[in-house]
């Protein structure tokens, strides 16, 4: 597939190609969010309320994009976020994301809801890999996954705290995600015409062996958890701050809490012994009506930025968005849909193209700002429109 410019100029172009290749059920799972998707829209809109303050006539012959995150030196200021069911979007899924991250000198965070094995994903990457933990399948399954991630050489554990239940993702309900992932063949019939209308995706899905159990959620005594939709998988996966005690005992490396949206939770995260946190709305897929994550970032950085590494995600579609988040205090950011659209459109090549777009965008933005490295970007390069911030 031709992904070069001018066919693919930005992430919207990759989204368009993903939409064409995927059946509605899979595209909407990737693209959609909870309820009226207010938080998703606000997450994207918030960048328009951050204004750059450039310094011109400054020599910027080269641009260093390197950052250090959780003790790992990265060549890029963005990491690839955990995206559950990546293998449903493309057979290479998590393997492709891990490989692309490593090849480009950055890190990949593997979701618990992966279709590929922890060990195989690690083997694809020359760079650091991190493991994202849900308690799906219970504590025994989580402890087994943590032990495997440790043995495989994963460098940090990201514990997602914003999924006491799955959010109300109405696109998934309408598209029949539950029956499609279930075992009753008759319940799938109403959704088959749309799937048959996407033969490229269907051929790849069939060749890949179709839905299979989650290879990293191995319930002691009963084996890998069967393939189910995300709402079912997250039933009884609730994590609480008291769980951090046993998680801390099972994992010796850095722990990061993912899904912090208030200063209170940021302080609890520090008290629970986490070395980092991710300010995140879970892509607007959980509690609709929380603010776009960029709005709460400055308050959280002010409160705990000197005690913990503050990472950030949500709505990042351009390199300039990355620079804005770093200007507001993030140490580095996570890309979610931005690379997943590329993965869904064209596997490895699609992720490479997304990363290439971001790298070029960030370098251009830094030069236009008068910065010769990403580490130079601070709050003096950005300001926000009145009413931007939510505390």
Ligand X SMILES: Cc1cc2nc3c(=O)[nH]c(=O)nc-3n(C[C@H](O)[C@H](O)[C@H](O)COP(=O)(O)O)c2cc1C
Which residue in 171, 282, 318, 359 binds ligand X (CB under 6 A)? 282
- Told to check if 113 binds ligand X by CB under 6 A, we report yes
- Closest residue by beta carbon to ligand X: 336
- Told to check if 83 binds ligand X by CB under 6 A, we report yes
- Told to check if 82 binds ligand X by CB under 6 A, we report yes
- Told to check if 353 binds ligand X by CB under 6 A, we report no
The site for ligand X, by CB under 6 A, has a size of: 24
- Is-catalytic flag, 282? yes
Contact 348, 99 (CB under 8 A): yes
- Say which DSSP state 112 is in: T
Which residue in 218, 283, 304, 355 binds ligand X (CB under 6 A)? 283
Q: Which of 305, 297, 307 is nearest to 328 (CA)?
A: 297
Contact 88, 204 (CB under 8 A): no
- Told to check if 84 binds ligand X by CB under 6 A, we report yes
Q: Is 72 helix (H, G, I), strand (E, B) or coil?
A: strand
Which residue in 11, 18, 80, 81 binds ligand X (CB under 6 A)? 81
- Told to check if 106 binds ligand X by CB under 6 A, we report no
Q: How far is the CB of 62 from ligand X (least distance, A)?
A: 28
Q: Which of 237, 234, 282, 276 is nearest to 257 (CA)?
A: 276
- Told to check if 337 binds ligand X by CB under 6 A, we report yes
Q: How far is the CB of 29 from ligand X (least distance, A)?
A: 6
Which residue in 122, 171, 258, 359 binds ligand X (CB under 6 A)? 258
For 70, list phi and psi in degrees, rounded to 5.
50, 40
Cross-strand partners of 278: 258, 311
For 361, list phi and psi in degrees, rounded to 5.
-60, -45
- Told to check if 171 binds ligand X by CB under 6 A, we report no
Q: How far apart are CA 383 and CA 51, in angstroms?
A: 5
Stretch binding ligand X (CB under 6 A), from 60-68, 217-225, 260-268, 335-343: 335-343
Token representation of residue 272: 């629970």
Which residue in 17, 18, 22, 30 binds ligand X (CB under 6 A)? 30
Which residue in 98, 269, 280, 286 binds ligand X (CB under 6 A)? 280
Q: How far apart are CA 234 and CA 217, in angstroms?
A: 12
Between 293 and 322, how does the x/- string for binding to ligand X read (CB under 6 A)?
--------------------xxxx------
Rg of the chain (C-alpha set): 20
Q: How many CB atoms lie within 10 A of CB 16?
A: 13
Contact 99, 123 (CB under 8 A): no
Enzyme catalytic residues = 282
Please give the residue ranges that form the binding site for ligand X (CB under 6 A).
29-30, 43, 81-84, 111, 113, 132, 160, 258, 280, 282-283, 313-316, 334-338
């Amino acid at each position: 597939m031709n992904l070069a410019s001018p066919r693919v100029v930005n992430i919207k172009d990759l989204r368009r190609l993903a939409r064409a290749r995927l059946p509605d059920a899979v595209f909407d799972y990737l693209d959609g969010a909870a309820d009226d998707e207010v938080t998703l829209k606000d997450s994207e809109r918030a960048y328009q309320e951050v204004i750059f303050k450039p310094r011109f006539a400054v020599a910027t012959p080269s641009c260093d994009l390197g950052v250090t995150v959780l003790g790992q030196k990265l060549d890029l200021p963005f990491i690839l976020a955990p995206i559950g069911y990546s293998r449903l979007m493309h057979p290479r899924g998590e393997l492709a994301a891990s490989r692309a991250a490593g090849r480009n000198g950055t890190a990949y965070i593997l979701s618990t809801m992966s279709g590929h094995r922890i060990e195989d994903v690690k083997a694809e990457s020359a760079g650091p890999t991190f493991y994202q933990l849900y308690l799906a399948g219970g504590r025994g399954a989580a402890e087994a996954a943590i032990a495997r991630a440790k043995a495989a050489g994963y460098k940090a554990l990201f514990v997602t705290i914003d999924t006491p239940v799955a959010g109300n993702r109405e696109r998934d309900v309408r598209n029949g995600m539950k029956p499609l992932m279930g075992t009753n063949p008759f319940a799938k019939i109403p959704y088959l015409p749309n799937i048959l209308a996407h033969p490229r995706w269907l051929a790849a899905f069939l060749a890949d062996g179709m839905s299979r159990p989650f290879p990293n959620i191995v319930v002691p005594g009963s084996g890998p958890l069967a393939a189910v939709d995300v709402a079912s998988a997250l039933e009884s996966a609730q994590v609480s701050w008291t769980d951090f005690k046993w998680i801390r005992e099972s994992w010796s490396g850095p722990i990061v809490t993912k899904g912090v949206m208030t200063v209170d939770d940021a302080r609890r995260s520090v008290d629970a012994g986490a070395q980092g946190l991710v300010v995140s709305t879970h892509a607007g897929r959980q509690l609709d009506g929380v603010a776009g994550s960029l709005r709460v970032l400055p308050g959280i950085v002010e409160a705990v930025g000197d005690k913990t590494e503050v990472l950030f995600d949500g709505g990042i579609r351009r390199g300039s968005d990355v620079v804005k988040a770093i200007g507001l205090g993030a140490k580095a950011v996570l890309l979610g849909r931005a690379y997943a659209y590329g993965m869904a459109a064209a596997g490895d090549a699609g992720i490479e193209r997304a990363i290439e777009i971001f790298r070029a965008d960030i370098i251009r933005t830094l030069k236009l700002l008068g910065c010769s490295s990403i580490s130079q970007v601070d709050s003096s390069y950005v300001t926000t429109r009145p009413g931007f911030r939510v505390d």
